[in-house]
Amino acid sequence: QSVLTQPPSVSAAPGQKVTISCSGSSSNIGNNYVSWYQQLPGTAPKLLIYENNKRPSGIPDRFSGSKSGTSATLGITGLQTGDEADYYCGTWDSSLRGVFGGGTKLTVL
C-alpha cells in the first residue's frame, strides 16, 4: 500500500480533460511540495509538475497541478493518444523520506 492514494485508472476521449487526484495527510502533502511524474510504457519517469503547480520547460500548458490541504490534483486538457501513460504523485514525509502514490493509468479512449 502506497502512502499517497491515487485512483488506479482514469480514462477520457481525445480532446477531453481529465484530472488525477492524490490524497495524503498533514505529515506529507500537508507540509511539503508535491511533484508529478509521467511514465510512458517501458521508459523512466519524467517530471511533469514540481512545487505543486510549476511546469518544467518543455512541458506543455495542457498539464497543470494544484494542491489544497492534504490533497493534490493533476489536470490534463486536450488529451492526446500520446498522453497514455502512468502518472505518479510524489512528496516527502515528516522525516524527509520520499513517498509516492500508487500510480494512475491514463487511457485515452
Partner 1 sequence: QVQLVQSGAEVKKPGASVKVSCKASGYTFTSYDINWVRQATGQGLEWMGWMNPNSGNTGYAQKFQGRVTMTRNTSISTAYMELSSLRSEDTAVYYCARGHRSYDYVWGSYRPNWFDPWGQGTLVTVSS
Tell me the C-alpha to C-alpha distance, in Å, between residue 25 and each of 5, 45, 53: 10, 24, 19
Paired residues of 37 in beta bridges:
47, 88
Output the 3-class SS for 65-99: EEEECCEEEEEECCCCHHHCEEEEEEEECCCCCEE
Among the listed ranges 10-18, 20-28, 29-37, 76-84, the one in contact with partner 1 (CB under 8 A) is: 29-37
Decide if residue 7 touches partner 1 (CB under 8 A).
no
What is the contact mask toward partner 1 in residues 36 to 75, using x (rule: CB under 8 A)?
Answer: -x------xxxx--xx----x-------------------
| 96: contact with partner 1 by CB under 8 A | yes
Q: Between residues 13 and 42, which has the closer beta carbon with respect to partner 1?
A: 42
Return residues touching partner 1 (CB under 8 A).
2, 32-33, 35, 37, 44-47, 50-51, 56, 88, 90, 92, 96-103
